């Protein structure tokens, strides 16, 4: 099980993680939440119907990583498509941001709940319900998209990532990117089985 998700009886997934892996995953999830932003919490007496129709931003984010996480719905080839993309963003981005924050929060909470279950070797087995597994899949995807954007990863250069010299300052983030990809792939395989 080391480093790979496996299916749990009755659904869900499990993976063995050591203290370093837990620390890295938690740190990355917290950074993802900070990147996405805090979101607007509705007031306790707020009208739920009004909250449903609250408008979000109409322009794409300027940060390339956020632009990757919240892409335009349509190409910007014409004025009409740009207007449609703006409308789509205005009515969907707040919900999408909230879901991405919630996925990252599920990761953080699951990792924070592991400390009491530590083994003598310093590792633990993380067990996720089917719903938690889906949230983890979303968060792992968002983390990889963010890191890949920061590293300017392209399909043509992906093979070169494996051959970076240890002296390259991108090496730690590349290693995290590749590791998250392996975790994500094993979780997908687990959920499909």
Q: Is the dihedral of CA 30, 116, 193, 180 positive or negative?
A: positive
pLDDT digits (tens, 9 = 90+) for 125-140: 999 999 999 999 999 9
Strand partners, 15: 126
Nearest to 67 by CA among 91, 93, 31: 93
pLDDT of residue 42: 54
In the predicted model, is pLDDT for residue 41 greater than 60?
Answer: no
Q: Which of 97, 110, 107, 186 is nearest to 139 (CA)?
A: 107
- With beta carbons less than 8 A apart as the criterion, state whether 85 and 74 touch: yes
Sorted by sequence, the CB contacts under 8 Å of residue 16 that are 6+ apart come out as 1, 2, 3, 123, 124, 125, 126
127 close to 8: Cβ distance less than 8 angstroms: yes
Mean residue pLDDT across the chain:
86
Under 8 Å CB-to-CB from 73, ≥6 apart: which residues?
A: 84, 85, 88, 89, 92
At residue 154, does pLDDT exceed 90?
Answer: no
- Residue 60 is predicted with a pLDDT of 81
More confident residue, 144 or 10: 144
Residue 139 tokens read as 């968060």
């Amino acid at each position: 099980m080391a480093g790979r998700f496996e299916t749990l009886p009755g659904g869900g997934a499990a993976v063995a993680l050591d203290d370093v892996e837990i620390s890295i995953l938690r740190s990355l999830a917290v950074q993802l939440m900070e990147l996405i932003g805090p979101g607007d919490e509705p007031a306790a007496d707020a009208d739920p119907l009004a909250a449903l129709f609250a408008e979000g931003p109409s322009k794409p984010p300027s940060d390339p990583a956020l632009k990757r996480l919240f892409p335009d719905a349509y190409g910007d080839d014409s004025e009409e498509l740009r207007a449609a993309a703006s409308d789509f963003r205005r009515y969907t981005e707040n919900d999408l941001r909230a879901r991405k924050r919630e996925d990252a929060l599920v990761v953080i909470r699951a990792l924070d709940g592991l400390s009491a279950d530590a083994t003598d070797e310093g590792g633990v087995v993380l067990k996720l319900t089917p719903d938690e597994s889906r949230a983890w899949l979303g968060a792992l995807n968002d983390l990889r998209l963010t890191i890949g954007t920061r590293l300017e990863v392209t399909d043509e250069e992906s093979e070169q990532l494996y051959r970076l010299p240890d002296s390259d300052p991108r090496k730690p983030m590349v290693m995290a990117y590749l590791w998250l990809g392996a975790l994500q792939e094993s979780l997908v395989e687990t959920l499909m089985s």
